[in-house]
Structure 1
């Protein structure tokens, strides 16, 4: 497998629509997230990223600029391409892109079984576990780590 090409794409472009299809496959079909919860108004204003391997969209995520931080969300990798570092490369590229624009505080909500992955990227979990899309999640951030407290 060649290294993935990671790039931001305009909303509703052909590549972004392929990313939306990948999200639907991963979240709605595979993980059983209700379809009405998969897309939201942030999709219109987010910066969307794709990972391409040999012309195919195999990974995606979005960045949402909020006043207090940049939220990383909707991280999805095609099932056949998991375990190859694509999500890690996508997140690194998206964070580098945001840092170039002066944003250096990142937040996300992770499926609870993925905490170790995000911890390996420098995020810490905080607050109570909560349900989102029918799965347990934790809020995570890469700033103010010393004040991050888990509540169970």
Structure 2
């Protein structure tokens, strides 16, 4: 498989719009997340990343800088490309991006069946399971309090 190219893209650019379409495909159509829950005001200010393979946007995620930590969210990979390391490559690029900006404390809300994936990247689950978009999630972070 070709190694994905990971790019930071501005909100509502052509590549970011392709990422939004991918998020709709994965979250709304496939996972049945209510469409009104998929986009939020953070899309205007988040740092968006896309993974491109063979000219196609096959993955996306976003970073939201907060005072207490940087939140990683909306991690999505097109179904056909799952299992090829796309999400891992995107996550590593996003973590590196955050750290280069002095943001060492990272947080995410993982779908409960994806905990092992994020644990391999150094995240630890904490707190109780909670619903998000109709699916069980757990909070995870890469830092101690």
Query: TM-score scaled by structure 2?
Result: 0.99
CA shift at 1:54, angstroms?
A: 1.2
RMSD (Å) for aligned C-alpha atoms:
0.7
Structure 1 unaligned regions, length at least 5: 148-152
Local SS of the residue matching 2:33? coil
Question: Which deviations, in whole Å up to 9, do the C-alpha atoms of 1:80-109 show, x marking residues without a partner?
Answer: 000001000000001101111111100000
Local SS of the residue matching 1:57? strand
Q: Which residue of 2 aligns with 1:47?
A: 47
Q: Which residue of 2 aligns with 1:23?
A: 23
- Moved >2 Å (runs of 4+): none
Is 1:81 the counterpart of 2:81? The answer is: yes
CA shift at 1:7, angstroms?
A: 1.0
CA shift at 1:2, angstroms?
A: 1.1
CA shift at 1:40, angstroms?
A: 0.3
Local SS of the residue matching 1:17? helix
Structure 2 unaligned regions, length at least 5: none
CA separation in 1, counterparts of 2:96 and 2:7?
A: 11
Q: Which residue of 1 aligns with 2:33?
A: 33
CA separation in 1, counterparts of 2:69 and 2:94?
A: 14
Q: Which residue of 2 aligns with 1:126?
A: 126
Query: TM-score scaled by structure 1?
Result: 0.94
Paired positions, count: 145
